[in-house]
Homo-oligomer: A and B are copies of this chain.
Amino acid sequence: MRDPLSHLPGYALRRAAHVIMVDLSTRLQAVDLKLSEASVLLLIDGRDDITSSEIGRILDIQRANMVPLLNRLDAQKLIQRRPLDRKSMAITLTEEGKKRLVRTKAITQAFETDLLARIPQEHRDHFVPALNALWMADSSTA
């Protein structure tokens, strides 16, 4: 055995996540987006009233870190900010943002398909449920 630690679930989870995220990051270079930026675009899609804070809460990105992230998307003219009241801003996709999202979706869908294809068929359907059990409805997040 080349790696004596690979039987450990936590270790395997870490190694797999790293390899997979490097893969996706590389693919996303084709649309000039980082992982976090792509996830924001995917999340905004179909909504017209989501705020920066809400995006951060859903994706587990600190409010403070949302600022430069949205600024980068803004600089690429992919999003726009619209006042909801005098405190909150709705983040929406521009026309260019929608176009970029179409390309981003194609990349992420191919990525997810390839990812699942690498998992032996008998394990495949168990993958997402197992992962989501580890972090969703996590009481420590409340």
Contact = CB atoms under 8 A, between A and B. Distances in A.
A6 interface: yes
A65 to B, nearest CB: 14
A87 interface: no
Contact of A130 (B11, B35, B124, B132): B124
A94 to B, nearest CB: 20
B3 A10 contact: no
Interface of A: 2-21, 24, 35, 39, 42-43, 58-60, 108, 111-112, 115-116, 118-120, 122-124, 126-136, 138
Given A5-B43, A18-B135, 14 more contacts: A4-B43, A4-B58, A6-B132, A6-B136, A13-B17, A14-B35, A16-B131, A19-B134, A20-B135, A119-B130, A119-B133, A120-B129, A120-B133, A123-B133
A16 B119 contact: no
B120 A123 contact: no
B135 A130 contact: no
B128 A127 contact: no
Nearest to A47: B4
A110 to B, nearest CB: 11
A14 B111 CA distance: 14
